[in-house]
Amino acid sequence: MRRSVALVAAALLLPQLAVHAQEKKDSVGRATYKVELNIRDSSDTSAKAARHYMLLMDPGRKTVLKIGTRVPVATTASFQPGTGGTAINPLVNTQYQYIDAGLTIECLVMEVNGRITISGNIDFVTVMQHEAAGRGGTPANPTLTQTKLDLDAAVESGMPTVIAAVDDPASARQFQVEATVTRLN
């Protein structure tokens, strides 16, 4: 069963792969960059080293990487009037909005007059508390923490550069972001 699903997926993607290969062939004159990000979080005591992320990018094209979970947050709820003389109003319909928790990296690399710049956003969202249900059967919303960095930095090709270091004022967390941008061709 899994093999047939994989074959169907491959057959559906084959035309897209051919187009992608043609685009690469047509863009011979354009540079490609390898962007490596090492992110250290001092609150992650189980991690012996930084988290490492690597992206291959064309200049001027934004790349987005999302790692994490989607957390439901109740936005509206409707109740049915009490039945049978009870004051309890059972929850009938709840609508949810989903929030991305984890790490989101948006990145853009440009080279102008031999100078390489990296721009983007790094967004850390952590779920601090998530209870099963609140009062009256209403789902409890989670408590989230967020650290967001908007970055613009000039870097030398192939040289590791610390592009951000942040002490979170709401907690004891410290983040350090090191980028290495290497021109491949």
Q: What is the pLDDT of residue 70?
A: 92
pTM assigned to the model: 0.67
For the stretch 47-62, pLDDT in tens is 566 799 999 999 999 9
Please answer whether residues 79 and 89 qualify as being in contact, where contact means their C-beta atoms are separated by less than 8 angstroms.
Answer: yes
* Annotated domain spans of the chain: 1-29, 31-80+88-183
Contact 172, 42 (CB under 8 A): yes
- Give the residue from 132, 131, 137, 141 showing the smallest Cα distance to 91: 137
Using the 8-state DSSP alphabet, how is residue 158 labeled?
T
CA-CA distances (angstroms) from residue 5 to 13, 14, 15, 30? 12, 14, 17, 36
Q: What are φ and ψ of residue 140, in 5° steps?
A: -80, 140
User: How far is residue 48's CA from residue 113's CA, in Å, rounded to a whole number?
Assistant: 39
Q: What is the mean pLDDT of residues 169-183?
A: 86
